[in-house]
Amino acid sequence: MADIIDGKAFAAALRESIADGVADFVAKAGRKPGLAVVLVGEDAASQVYVRNKHKATIAAGMESFEYRLAADTSQAELLALVEALNADPAVDGILVQLPLPNGLDENAVIQTIDPDKDVDGFTTTSTGRLLTGLPGFVACTPLGCLMLLKDRLGDLSGKSAVVIGRSNIVGKPMAQLLLRESCTVTIAHSRTADLPAVVRGADIVVAAVGRPEMVKGDWLKPGATVIDVGINRVPAAEEGKTKLVGDVDFASASEVAGAITPVPGGVGPMTIACLLYNTLEAANRREG
Ligand code: GUN
**Is residue 75 among the annotated active site residues?**
no
Per-residue pLDDT at 195: 98
66: left (phi > 0), else alpha (psi -120 to 50), else beta?
Answer: beta
Q: Is pLDDT above 90 for 242?
A: yes
Q: Report the pLDDT value the prediction gives residue 280, as an integer from 0 to 100.
A: 98
**CB neighbour class for 251 (10 Å; exposed up to 12, middle 13-18, buried from 19):** exposed
Q: Is 53 a catalytic residue?
A: yes
| Mean local confidence (pLDDT), 144-166 | 98
C-alpha atoms less than 13 angstroms from C-alpha of 1 in its C-beta half-sphere: 5
Distance separating alpha carbons of residues 142 and 88, to the nearest angstrom: 28
State percent of the chain over pLDDT 70: 100
Check residue 97 and give its pLDDT.
98
Q: How far apart are CA 134 and CA 205, in angstroms?
A: 25
Residues forming beta bridges with residue 148, ordered by sequence position: none
**Phi, psi values for residue 184, rounded to 5°:** -95, 115
The pLDDT of residue 199: 98
Of 122, 169, 276, the residue with max ligand 1 atoms within 8 A of its CB, to mutate for a pocket test, comes to 169
118 lines ligand 1 (CB under 6 A): no
Give me ligand 1 centre to Cα 182, in Å: 27
Q: What is the phi-psi region of residue 258: left when phi exceeds 0, alpha when psi lies from -120 to 50, beta otherwise?
A: alpha
CA atoms within 13 A on the CB side of 220: 29
Tens digits of per-residue pLDDT, 24-81? 999 999 999 999 999 999 999 999 999 999 999 999 999 999 999 999 999 999 999 9
Alpha helices in the chain (DSSP H): 7-29, 44-59, 75-87, 106-112, 124-132, 140-153, 171-180, 195-200, 250-253, 268-287
Q: Mean per-residue pLDDT for 198-223?
A: 98
Domain ranges of the chain: 29-119, 140-269
Asked if residue 17 has pLDDT above 90, the reply is yes
Q: Is 97 one of the catalytic residues?
A: yes
Residue 288 is predicted with a pLDDT of 82
Options 3.40.640.10, 3.40.50.300, 3.40.50.2300, 3.40.50.10860; CATH for 29-119 is 3.40.50.10860
User: Ligand 1 test: best mutation among 95, 100, 170, most atoms within 8 Å of CB?
Assistant: 95
pLDDT at 138: 98
ipTM above 0.90, yes or no: yes
> Tell me, what's the pLDDT at 25?
98
Is 140's C-beta closer than 6 angstroms to any atom of ligand 1?
yes
Instruction: Please determine, for residue 191, whether its predicted confidence score (pLDDT) is greater than 90.
Output: yes
| DSSP structure class, residue 248 | B
Q: What separation in angstroms does the CA of 145 have from each of 26, 62, 73, 227, 231? A: 29, 24, 34, 7, 14
In CATH terms, the fold of domain 140-269 is: Rossmann fold (3.40.50)
As a whole number, mean pLDDT of residues 176-205 equals 98
Mean pLDDT of the chain: 98
**Region 71-99: what's the mean pLDDT?**
98
Q: What angle do CA 220, 221, 226 make, to 5 degrees?
A: 60
Judge whether 29-119 and 140-269 match in fold.
Answer: yes
Rounded to 5 degrees, what are φ and ψ at 160? -95, 125
Determine which one of 92, 114, 118, 120 is catalytic.
120
**If you write DSSP's letter for every residue of 38-105 in order, what string do you get?**
EEES--HHHHHHHHHHHHHHHHTT-EEEEEEE-TT--HHHHHHHHHHHHH-TT--EEEE-SSPPTTS-
Q: Which amino acid, one-letter code, is at 134?
A: L
